[in-house]
A and B are shown apart, each in its own frame.
Chain A
Amino acid sequence: MVLVGLVDSSTSGQVASSEERPLPQPPEEVLKIEGLTKSFDGKTNAVDNVSFTVFQGEIFGFLGPNGAGKSTTINMLTTILRPTTGRATVCGHDLIREQTAVRRSIGVVPQESTADEDLTGIENVLLCADFYGIGRSISKPRAQELLELVELSKEAERKVITYSGGMKRRLELACGLINRPRLLFLDEPTLGLDVQTRAAVWDYIRRLKDEFRMTLFMTTHYLDEADNLCDRIALIDHGKILRVGSPSELKASLGGDIIEVEVQSDPSDLSQAIATIPNVVEVRKSDSDYRIKTKLGEETAPAIMDALRLAGARVTKISISKPSLDQVYLEYTGRSIREEHAEAGSATPRKGMMGMRRRR
């Protein structure tokens, strides 16, 4: 069924032209990207041959350092930038050939506030509705409903310039939902928000997924957020996808849990004995401590205790730590701090103030 949908969407030119054909099954893939590449200067690729798939109803996290190509990718998927090469299918529509259909089926909540600050909250939401060609009789109640969802009903008639950062972000969310998108892009939805607003935004995101079965594509720098919210995550750096998987898969990819054991001082090296225990991946010894990388830490730890006891060593301390997404992130993207020149050509206005140089 999935395949049928895929084939149909890839030949959608025909689908659109022949009304008589039976309606194709909707692809389960809401987003399918194949070899997407963007180069601003024709030499270096800001986004380099990126491929992945996002499925209906999931929250998909897109993580990477500054300048990794996240915003450029989002801008391509939301039709703001034209891909240099590669293709993508968004909600069953070809990204390049069916731009209007793509735009109708997606919502975008950008990183920075893009509301018109001279207009009121409700005027901004209605303006977005107009961009989609939604008539007032529908857009008005819908706008009020959305402002209620993001708890801005009371402030609806106030000019946006009087809003706080959190209110602007919530307004942005309401604007992004006005066309009832199937796929919502959230670019760092909680950046710079206080703890309360962050929690509220998380709550909205979960509700969109659970109650409305919406598919969400979000970028974030907060790894706890990604861990909590996302069903699957793609790690991107230098324009290339490093890893795609669920948070637990990614953590498991590091080789598993870390068990640290301290034994009463004992000159003999027990590494060999530990390494033979099932599930143990790696053992490192320093002084009287052993650092053991293992799968299924909870089950392996007792086995290690037994093995050490059998070898005559006395365990004085043991700890199991699960790898965090932070560790995964640093493992794959490294520790060096990024300058943003890699994304100098991206069209994100925040960086754009400096980064968007005029290209001739």
Chain B
Amino acid sequence: MAQQETEAQRAANHPSLSTLEREAPVNESPLHGIWALTNRDLKKWYKDSLMLLLSLIQPVLWLGLFGKAMNFGAIFTGSSFNIPGLNIPKQVLNSLASQVMQQTFGTTDYFSFLAVGMLSFISLFMAMSSGNSLVWDRRLGFLNKELSTPLSRGVIPLGKVFAAIVRGLTQAAIVLVIAVLLGLSTSHFSVVGILGTFAALFLMVMGFSAFFVMLAVRSTNQDTQIMIVNLLNLPLLFASNAMFPAKFMPGWLQPVVQVNPISYATDISRQLLLGSSGMASLGFDFVYLGSFAVLLTVLGMVVSWRFLSR
């Protein structure tokens, strides 16, 4: 409103400025610019063919190496069991093996178990890079430019968060397709299930990228950011059920798994895509993840509002 008054003042008092001041209606919503910022970050990603290629290759490598190399199912098959004095028929062994697998991983093959965990994993990695991107903006002066425009300070982290979400979900979609090609069981797939899975990943990336942007809000050193990411990524991942079922983890680790949002995103995905029995109900999972996402995003906006400028 104050703005409109100024425009009117100017037009009235400086007729000679009319050509210059032929003012355009501007979007004054405090949230304007989110899409512009998101799109800017995304352009840097999809217009750079090498970046795009690498981000496509990365999930393939992970799936191939982790998913296929860690072939837990093979432990029970073949002639590996030969207990003297007991002549256990092959069928019994095989059915025992699939029982064990089902009980441990909630599905008969470890690849399917891991492939779904990999969706969380790859999305998490995208979320973690958002802080570093903010540090670069600061160092290259782009952040100062943003700060001198009417962009709201709270919107700046949101741009990073949404870009991370789009990139994370894109990569997750690629992982899912490749995993299906490599043998992920699709017997439980449904449209709702897939949408639900991506909704869960959306919330998880949202919360984590807001968290990492928050850590970077005053930082001027991208090495620090890389250190933080390296420090946190694997612990965060392994202290969740993404790679291994929580119920077989030591007692001291279980509480950590229970609060780790990655566990909830993965739990949702496994329930929806594989039909596994989960560690909590879908409803609880979504409420937990949703609260995590909203809480950290709001916190990220507040922190940026307060600390982006000194």
Residues of chain B with a CB closer than 8 A to A134's CB: 24, 26-27
Does B3 lie within 8 Å of A101, measured CB to CB?
yes
Does B23 lie within 8 Å of A92, measured CB to CB?
no
Nearest chain A CB to B304 CB, angstrom units: 14
Binds B, one of A104-112, A190-198, A238-246, A280-288: A104-112
Does B26 lie within 8 Å of A133, measured CB to CB?
yes
Residues of chain B with a CB closer than 8 A to A359's CB: 218, 310
Type the 1/0 row for B265-303, where 1 means its CB is closer than 8 Å to any CB of A: 000000000000000000000000000000000000000
Does A133 lie within 8 Å of B218, measured CB to CB?
no
Does A349 lie within 8 Å of B149, measured CB to CB?
no
> Does A263 count as interface, using CB distance less than 8 angstroms?
no
A142-B19 Cα distance, complex, nearest whole Å: 12
Q: Which of B26, B44, B142, B310 contacts A82 (CB 8 A)?
A: B310
A26-B21 Cα distance, complex, nearest whole Å: 15
Interface residues on A, range: 35 or more
Chain A-chain B contacts (Cβ-Cβ < 8 Å), number: 152
Binds B, one of A113-121, A248-256, A270-278, A336-344: A113-121
Q: Which of B21, B29, B149 contacts A132 (CB 8 A)?
A: B149
Residues of chain A with a CB closer than 8 A to B219's CB: 358
> Does B221 count as interface, using CB distance less than 8 angstroms?
yes
A108-B9 Cα distance, complex, nearest whole Å: 22
Does A98 lie within 8 Å of B24, measured CB to CB?
no
Nearest chain B CB to A11 CB, angstrom units: 13
9 contacts between A and B (CB under 8 A): A104-B6, A105-B6, A113-B141, A114-B141, A119-B40, A133-B33, A134-B26, A142-B24, A357-B220
A101-B6, A212-B20 are known contacts; what are 12 more A-B pairs with Cβ within 8 Å? Answer: A23-B8, A26-B10, A75-B144, A100-B28, A101-B2, A116-B142, A133-B26, A180-B23, A214-B20, A345-B310, A349-B139, A358-B219
Q: Which residues of A contact B (CB under 8 A)?
A: 12, 15-16, 19, 23-26, 40, 75, 78-82, 91-93, 98, 100-101, 103-106, 108, 110, 112-116, 118-119, 123, 127-128, 130-135, 138-139, 142, 175, 179-180, 182, 212-214, 345, 347-350, 352-353, 356-359
Q: Which residues of B contact A (CB under 8 A)?
A: 1-3, 5-6, 8-10, 12-14, 16-17, 20-21, 23-29, 32-33, 35-36, 40, 43-44, 47-48, 138-142, 144-152, 218-221, 224, 309-310
